Structure 1
Amino acid sequence: MPSTHLPLRKDVPNELKWDLSLLYSDDQAMQADLAEITKLTAQLGDLKGHLGDSAQTLTQVLQASRDLDVKLEKAYVYAFLRRDSDTTDARANNLFGQAAQTLVQVQTQTAFIDPELLALPEGTLANWLTTSPALQEFAVEIKRMRLQRDHVLKTSEEALLNRLNRTLDSAEEIYNTLNDADLKFGQIKDEHGQWVELTHGNRSQYTESMDRSVRQAAVKAYAKPYHDLRNTFAQTFNSFVSSQNAQAEIRHYQSARQASLSPHQIDEQVYDTLVTTVNDHLDLAHRWYAIKQRALGISDFSQADLNVPLAGNDVMKTTFSQGKELTLAALAVLGDDYVKGLQTEFNQRWIDVAENKGKRSGGYQVSVYDGNPFILLNWTDKLYSTFVLANESGHAMHSWFSQHHQPAQYADAPIFLAEVASTFNENILTEYLLAKYQDDPQIQLYVLEESINGYIGSIFRQTQFAEFEHQAYQAEQAGQTLTADYLDQLSTELLHRYYGPQVSLLAGGASQSWAYVPHFYMNYYVYQYATSWAASSSLAQQVWTGQTGALDRYLGFLKSGSSKDPIETMQAAGIDMTGRAYLDQALKMFAERLDQIEDLLKHQK
């Protein structure tokens, strides 16, 4: 039998690993920085009680805090990436533990800054900002902090809460360890009758199989460990939600949702408008499932049939090298500077490509101001992986442009904006592929379905997750324990509503899909996939069609970081996210995709 097991980390070729020497030459160099960070933190702590002495002292504290954050970010990300490369590596886990402990120490010893700054009289601070150019650089940051004054605690209380941060957020680490290091899905038989190991990384290969028995086996095998450990996953999720609700209450927010959105100046109505608008258009999702059921000719259409491609799964296979070429070609529309950034990303090994034993599942990008962005992938030779590469490269270039045009305190864009840059790239890649293969109906069909899956996965599915998340938080806040039975019931009700009458649920674990989602441990994160996809689909259309000023507005968006509030930043890019028009427009474009694919299918008969 051929080898079907994941390689060990040491057996993955270097060219498929990220180059962490771009941050530190070795672990010892990173640990030396941790020692320096500890020393600098103590020096900054000596200024406790003196923020109100003068504009110069306040500036000194803010500059020192910023520089400390930059140094800590570099060390923490290095340890984070070492750990995620192989979550079974004891040395890497120990290194990450050291970094996490240093983070807690820094947060605890600098907890005096926010309360002291907020205690400054309005007139004094206004005068200092007017007369001190160096302090003026922090004006936006100071404004944001003061908008949250009702939620900042006394210095002693902030220090205590920061000391407990790692414990309060431990459920996320427990979930990630369980999900990435300990969970096993067993083996299934592939299309050739060979036994193969099912993993997070190759799951899609088998759930998209043209052989229905293979994809049914893959869906059931993937669900089984989540079902078997449903009570453990439920307790972990309950602990996380309870912690977030408690911290929101401690900080005098009305809810964890307000605590998550308010610091980024996102009105909760944005969330509610998303849920309402998507529910108004659920008929479009149901229409897609009906189209797919008819095209596949399956009377008992189920969850196991959702991902099988109508054009066949051997269409548009892409190696990592080919994926990079397609991404570069598609995004050339953004100009030379953007392409140069991508080439640097590809050539300097910012990307960890291949799946290995113990590696963190999924994909993400993390930026380092005093360095460069890094991307985690788990590559399969499916077109989907190229879309993931384009998506994460969108994050990377957003970070790259922002850090080259903003000071450190404004270089990191909030997630509400970051997901626009990533999904924008997916929409541009779709337009490029449809144009490139306009004379090939089979590839057209395949690419159109990828685009439709983007709308389904980013707008409909993430809004479904957002509903689930918010209802779970509200229930826990009202005193409900989030047991496995409760979460299964909540999830099943939403699945039925979002899938509609065409899709039947598989028995035996299907309702545990709530346990599959690591982003539930990021506290009101998922809704932003939906809002971002809706906004980026319009922006991408404007840039792709060459609308006057669209490219300049988009590049300005990439360079803006967090220098303005997110709603204002999006308005400057040409999208008003305070209403529902941008959502209705995106869903109109989705309906047009459905028209296109129906026309293709009609002509294939």
Structure 2
Amino acid sequence: MAEEKLLSRNDVPAALKWDLKLLYQSDEEMKADFDATKKVVDQFTKLQGKLAVDAKNLLVALILGKQIDEELEKEFVYAFLRRDSDTTDATATELYGMISSQLSTISAQMAFMEPEVVDIDDGVIDQFLTVEPKLAEFKFMLTKIRNEKAHVLSKLEEQLLSRASKSLNAPDEIYNTLNDADLTFGMIHDEDGNEVQLTHGNRSQFTESQNREVRKEAVLAYEKPYHDLRNTFAQTLNSYMGMHNMQADVRHYASAREASLSGNQIDEQVYDTLISSVNSHLDLAHRWYALKKKVLGVDKFYKYDINVPIAGNDLLKTTFEDGKKLTREALSVLGPKYMEGLNQEFDNRWIDAAENKGKRSGGYQISVYQANPFILLNWTDKLYSTYVLAHESGHAMHSYFSQRAQPSEYFEAPIFLAEVASTFNENILTDYLLEKYQDDRQIKIFILEQYINGFIGTIYRQSQFAEFEHNAYQTQAKVGTLTADYLDNMSSDLVDKYYGPSVTPTGTKTQSWAYVPHFYMNYYVYQYATSMAASTALSAQVWNHEDGALERYYDFLSAGGSDYPIETLKRAGVDATDSQYLERAFKVFEQRLDEIEALLA
């Protein structure tokens, strides 16, 4: 599926594209539904100023709000997926722009609800819950809103912020358009000397090449446009972080980080404990790079040498069909209930697999309560793509099970939990592959290196990004401007610290921060690291068939967002407020390092 020249969207086989008819038959049908939803919004707005009158009014408002959210989710996701399928498609871009703009208006119309809810006296809320049993479904939702009382503004202020949301989110939209639609990396040479187009999707096949000149050319070519546009990328990031710092200040938070974490009652100490624990185990990552340098037999181990597989390229080359087969086999340990959901995902075109011109880079999963999850991939026929498939399928099955267990207001798990389900699947896939190929030394080395790269990429690299992100937010709040020079130098210092003395810097500094789309997701990246550490414990329990482990994991998947994430994770068997879960993960990582060192001895 990795082509030298990118296919147009129309040339991609239907089997490799998601079926958006699972949402709507046409753009016109979606627009008609959207018009109907706006009429429900009009009904909702008639309740303004009346939520505290009696329990019935509050219940009606909550039910209408729930209906509106379900319908808007379906309509928005359809337009979002249309746009991401091909960001050069003017019709899709216009459709997405239309609904995004009108969502800002709708958000402003509905913004009166939270201020009115927080203004209701506690005794009155308790009375409402007593006299109207149907309010019980919304009790946790009401509790969450009221816990944020100190940060909810007046009705007028909330409406103003809602109306401004599209403009405030512009840096994110500009970044994604620049990165996915406009950025080009030029032509490079493959191992046969042929000129090929470098893209987001195919770069790994060149950066992992056994030919040092091929991977060097690919890495430097990928870095170049980020460096050329470094001031633009600095400005988009500065604007985005400035917007969140402003909103945190307006809402009376001490910082943007506190604002981001407080809604789910995650103590900032969880963030700081992660960074501290990872920094105290940097020697393990440094040990890996030193080992790799030794095995490759190079005098200097450059950044463009990091991704070349020690065991050789593509020992487990996998097509999309191969990847689905491996994922099915690995995850069968989760039993028939899980496999039923996974088979629906694989057999009903919930996945958009092939890379095409204008398609959004990377991979993600997004769910629709009234329909099903959807997954975006950019398949490359490398084992890495199978890991991405397993990862995103973890998200999809998390949504699948919570959708069947929770009302819509609780079905979406907070990110702190969502990344547990995804990295859980990566760990299970590693255990399965190591068992499957236990008698093949070279393939075991290949799989162990895949695991090590995944662990470093998820725990070490995301913690590096988390340090960068928090420092950038703090500097933006203090100084007011993030310059390209400042961001380059800060990122370079962190890269040197996390990679260690065996890795020699090369190329430009900008790409190490400018290519990260998750910096436009407001304190997202640290949750990859905490989740990987938590899932290491949970997946080991399930893989080893420990008593009650599978049942606890199903309960975790089904919980969605029905409780605060720290509490949901505790019931699954992991306490994220204690650093021991991180220590256990590093112990497993060290054991994997010992294993690959023994194989390479």
Instruction: Compute the TM-score of the two structures, normalised by the length of structure 1.
Output: 0.98
Give the letter aligned to residue 586 of structure 2: L
Please say if 1:425 is aligned against 2:440. no
Please say if 1:550 is aligned against 2:558. no
By how many angstroms is 1:4 displaced?
Answer: 2.3
In structure 1, C-alpha distance between the alignment counterparts of 2:343 and 2:379, rounded to whole Å: 19
SS in 2 for 1:264: coil
Given that 2:226 and 2:510 are in contact with CA atoms closer than 8 Å, whether structure 1 keeps it comes out as no
Please say if 1:112 is aligned against 2:112. yes
In structure 2, C-alpha distance between the alignment counterparts of 1:33 and 1:467, rounded to whole Å: 43
In structure 1, C-alpha distance between the alignment counterparts of 2:130 and 2:272, rounded to whole Å: 39
In structure 2, C-alpha distance between the alignment counterparts of 1:430 and 1:77, rounded to whole Å: 32
In structure 1, C-alpha distance between the alignment counterparts of 2:124 and 2:3, rounded to whole Å: 70
Structure 2 residue aligned with 1:174 = 174
Deviations along 1:180-202, whole A, 9 cap, x unmatched?
00000001111000000000000
SS in 2 for 1:84: helix
Please say if 1:473 is aligned against 2:473. yes
In structure 2, C-alpha distance between the alignment counterparts of 1:480 and 1:561, rounded to whole Å: 38
In structure 2, C-alpha distance between the alignment counterparts of 1:396 and 1:277, rounded to whole Å: 30
Given that 2:242 and 2:480 are in contact with CA atoms closer than 8 Å, whether structure 1 keeps it comes out as no
In structure 1, C-alpha distance between the alignment counterparts of 2:418 and 2:227, rounded to whole Å: 33
Structure 2 residue aligned with 1:375 = 375
In structure 2, C-alpha distance between the alignment counterparts of 1:517 and 1:370, rounded to whole Å: 31
By how many angstroms is 1:32 displaced?
Answer: 0.6
Given that 2:491 and 2:509 are in contact with CA atoms closer than 8 Å, whether structure 1 keeps it comes out as no
Deviations along 1:54-109, whole A, 9 cap, x unmatched?
11110110010011000000000000000000000000001001111221122110
By how many angstroms is 1:510 displaced?
Answer: 3.6
Deviations along 1:362-401, whole A, 9 cap, x unmatched?
0000000000000000000000000000000000000000
Give the letter aligned to residue 315 of structure 1: L
Please say if 1:65 is aligned against 2:70. no
Structure 1 residue aligned with 2:560 = 561
SS in 1 for 2:405: coil
Give the letter aligned to residue 567 of structure 2: E
Please say if 1:584 is aligned against 2:577. no
Give the letter aligned to residue 98 of structure 1: M
SS in 2 for 1:196: strand
In structure 1, C-alpha distance between the alignment counterparts of 2:253 and 2:546, rounded to whole Å: 43
By how many angstroms is 1:307 displaced?
Answer: 0.4
By how many angstroms is 1:480 displaced?
Answer: 4.3
Deviations along 1:24-70, whole A, 9 cap, x unmatched?
01000001111111111111001100001111110110010011000
Matches within 5 A, 1:104-183: 104-183=104-183
Structure 1 residue aligned with 2:249 = 249
In structure 1, C-alpha distance between the alignment counterparts of 2:12 and 2:128, rounded to whole Å: 55
In structure 2, C-alpha distance between the alignment counterparts of 1:196 and 1:568, rounded to whole Å: 50
Deviations along 1:110-158, whole A, 9 cap, x unmatched?
0000000110011010111123211011000011111100110000110
Given that 1:491 and 1:512 are in contact with CA atoms closer than 8 Å, whether structure 2 keeps it comes out as no
Matches within 5 A, 1:14-413: 14-413=14-413
By how many angstroms is 1:215 displaced?
Answer: 0.3
Given that 2:271 and 2:526 are in contact with CA atoms closer than 8 Å, whether structure 1 keeps it comes out as yes
In structure 1, C-alpha distance between the alignment counterparts of 2:299 and 2:536, rounded to whole Å: 33
In structure 2, C-alpha distance between the alignment counterparts of 1:512 and 1:200, rounded to whole Å: 13
By how many angstroms is 1:511 displaced?
Answer: 4.0
By how many angstroms is 1:245 displaced?
Answer: 0.4
In structure 2, C-alpha distance between the alignment counterparts of 1:274 and 1:116, rounded to whole Å: 37
Structure 2 residue aligned with 1:571 = 570
Given that 1:424 and 1:540 are in contact with CA atoms closer than 8 Å, whether structure 2 keeps it comes out as yes
Of 463-472 and 437-446, deviating more is: 437-446
Deviations along 1:190-227, whole A, 9 cap, x unmatched?
10000000000001110000000000000000000000
In structure 2, C-alpha distance between the alignment counterparts of 1:94 and 1:465, rounded to whole Å: 33
Given that 1:38 and 1:102 are in contact with CA atoms closer than 8 Å, whether structure 2 keeps it comes out as no
Q: CA 1:66–1:49 in structure 2 vs 1: closer, same or farther (change >3 Å)? A: same
By how many angstroms is 1:454 displaced?
Answer: 1.1
Give the letter aligned to residue 474 of structure 2: Q
Given that 1:309 and 1:446 are in contact with CA atoms closer than 8 Å, whether structure 2 keeps it comes out as yes
By how many angstroms is 1:283 displaced?
Answer: 0.4
Structure 2 regions of 5+ residues with no counterpart? none
Given that 1:15 and 1:349 are in contact with CA atoms closer than 8 Å, whether structure 2 keeps it comes out as yes
Structure 2 residue aligned with 1:540 = 539
In structure 2, C-alpha distance between the alignment counterparts of 1:3 and 1:348, rounded to whole Å: 25
The count of corresponding residues between Structure 1 and Structure 2 is 600
In structure 1, C-alpha distance between the alignment counterparts of 2:299 and 2:351, rounded to whole Å: 43
4+ residue runs of structure 1 moved beyond 2 angstroms? none
By how many angstroms is 1:5 displaced?
Answer: 1.7
Given that 2:405 and 2:559 are in contact with CA atoms closer than 8 Å, whether structure 1 keeps it comes out as yes
SS in 1 for 2:486: helix
Please say if 1:499 is aligned against 2:499. yes
Give the letter aligned to residue 454 of structure 1: G
Give the letter aligned to residue 552 of structure 1: E
By how many angstroms is 1:174 displaced?
Answer: 0.2
Instruction: Compute the TM-score of the two structures, normalised by the length of structure 2.
Output: 0.99
Identity percentage of aligned residues: 59
Give the letter aligned to residue 28 of structure 1: E
Matches within 5 A, 1:501-520: 501-507=501-507, 509-520=508-519
By how many angstroms is 1:265 displaced?
Answer: 1.2
By how many angstroms is 1:3 displaced?
Answer: 7.5
